[in-house]
Structures are given as C-alpha cells and as structure tokens.
Amino acid sequence: MANPDVPLPAANPRAPLLRRLPVISHYTRSVGLQRGMLVAGLVLTGAFVLTALFAPLLAPYGYSQLSDDDGNFPTQQAPGGKHLLGTTVGGYDVLSRVIWGAQTAILVIVVAVAMSIVIGVVLGLVSGYLGGWLDRILVVVADAVYAFPSLLVAIVMAIVISGGQSSLAGGIFAAGTAITLVFIPQYFRVIRAETVRLKAEPFVESAKVVGASNIRIMGRHIYRNATRTLPLIFTLNASEAILTLAGLGFLGFGIEPSSAAEWGFDLNKALADTTSGIWWTGLFPGMAIVLTVVGLTLVGESINDLNDPRLRGRKSAAGKVTPGPAAAGPGTAAHAAIETEVRGS
C-alpha cells in the first residue's frame, strides 16, 4: 500500500508534455471515486466549453431572433415542434438562448479570471519576495477588498460602468471587472504565501550568490513553483464567476437581451411564468447554471484532493507509484536550473 504521507510527483519530468499538463496529469494519478468525480466534472465542463465555442452552429436561432420565414414566434409556447424547449414571454427560443448564454458565460470567465490571475500573481510575487512596508500595505488592501461580498461589488461596478444595462462588450467588461476585483486577493494571498516560503529555500540563496537579479529570481525560479495551485483556484473561481454573472442578470443589472443571451436575465423574466404553470422558461436556464457550476466544482475539488496527500486515494500495491526526483520538494526544478547557471558561470 502506498504511503499517503509521501506526495506523488506533480508531473514526471520525463513524461510526454501532454501527460504533464494540469488536469491530464491529475487524471493519470486518480483512482476510484476521485477519478469518477474528475471524469464527471470534465464531461460537464467540456460540454459547456464546446457549447460556447460552437454556439453559432448548435443554436437553431439567434439569441434575439423573434421570427423566421413562417412569421413571428409564438410567446410562451410549450416545448415541441420547431421550438424544442419552448419560447419565452418575449417570443425568444429557449434552446437558442441557453446555447448562446454559454458563450456569454465563458467570455466573462476568460476576462475576469485572466485579469485577476495576471494582477494577483504579480502582486503576490512582489509582496512576498520584497516584504517590508509594501507587503504590509498590500496585505491590508487585499484583506479589505476580500471582505466585501462579490455580488455587491459586481452590482456597484455594473452601475458605475454601464448604468446597470449594457451591451455585450459593456456587460462583459462590467461583470469581468467586478469579479476581478474580488478574485485578485485570492490569487494574491496564495502566491504571496508560497513566495514567502520559497524565498527561504536554498535554490533562491544559490541564485543570489551567482548574481541573479530579483526580477529573474521571481520570474524564473519562484514563479514556476508558486503557481502550482492556480488550476485549482481557476476552476473554483470560474464557477463563482458564472454565479456572479447570473446574479447580476437576475437582479436586472446584466446584459440586455437584444445584445446577448444571459442565463440570469432569462431566470428573472421567468419568475412571472411560474405562477401560470409555465415551467420551461426558467427550468432550462437554471439547469444550465447548475450543471456548469457542478462540473467546474467537481474538477476543482478533484484537483484539490489529488494535490493533498492526505486526501489522495491510495493505489493498490500492484499500482504503487514510487516518488521520483520531482517529489523531493517544490524547489527541485528551480534548483536544477540554478546548478546549470553555476556550472556555466
């Protein structure tokens, strides 16, 4: 039986590049229930991503289309016929709105998470490595921002940026900026904690001895070891970004229906339908939100389990994995790079 206290290598450096990528490397190390959770999450997440990418091909109509060659669409039509999931009170095709809504959601995720990763990682590296008064100020600011509810910040930003109602670009920018402000402290605190720990490692001292600059040390040696948890944070933040976007739309601060499809807005308009027994206008957008968030959360939790040796499933004796050189510590790869520099100097 493998020792659960001995961490498995994050990725075998001799393995092909594809098998060393995040998620794929986690899949190869997963067993039992962990693998089942990861596969289920990947299937749901993959369906969400593919739907967003191929929305123009999958959607039978446009997100704001109200008529075709046969005339105007009927309002609140039950599922069936030309409208497989029915139509809304405004005459929109529910299936088309759900499919196009995936594209809107993924655009907000990309904008928000990309911005927060770049800013949070840079601030975390600088704060953790340099320390001093700059570190204290950044920590206080990050804690203050983190204390505000993400949805409240998103509402304020939506009002400031776009007046509450906006076009596709304005809505994505408003939601993405609001979510970014909330996510930056999460990346900042994680990267800062890892940087504080790593800067005391011998490979950093070796880099200083050979004359490496602070920027080179942070960018080449600390960065690659401090960012190993980013895939986990990304998946969890992606699901939170979808919920925040849906919350904005549900409260009426989202994107106008003539500019883009958005699941939260459709849920808001479906509230009045429920009392009349019209269930399809709210069920399918709600299912899209739930399934997407569940898929992203399953992927994130599975990665978290596999990164934590106390939670990682145990392999059988026949499939026992022997920790290789990469298991020696997070500084192994960077230490090898430092040794190369020393030999060349």
pLDDT tens digits along 235-252 = 778 888 888 888 888 887
- Has residue 339 been placed in a domain? yes
- Has residue 111 been placed in a domain? yes
- Has residue 2 been placed in a domain? no
- Has residue 317 been placed in a domain? yes
- Has residue 296 been placed in a domain? yes
**CA separation for the pair 303, 34 (Å, rounded):** 9
Closest CA to 173 of 269, 97, 266, 104: 104
- Has residue 128 been placed in a domain? yes
Closest CA to 207 of 196, 228, 223, 221: 221
Closest CA to 198 of 220, 182, 177: 220
Domain count for the chain: 1
The pLDDT score that the predictor gives to residue 165 is 56
- Has residue 3 been placed in a domain? no
The pLDDT score that the predictor gives to residue 47 is 93
Q: Calculate mean pLDDT across residues 249-277.
A: 82
DSSP per-residue string spanning 225-237: HHTTTHHHHHHHH
* Residue 199 belongs to domain spanning: 17-344
DSSP 3-state of 131: coil
pTM of the shown model: 0.75
- What CATH code is carried by the domain that includes residue 204? 1.10.3720.10
Do residues 128 and 196 lie in contact, with contact meaning Cβ atoms separated by under 8 Å?
yes
- Has residue 5 been placed in a domain? no
Mean pLDDT comparison of 48-62, 76-90, 128-142, 261-275, highest-scoring range: 48-62
Q: Two tokens at 325?
A: 């050189």
Q: Supply the mean pLDDT for the chain.
A: 76
| 13 or 255: which leads in pLDDT | 255
The pLDDT score that the predictor gives to residue 89 is 85
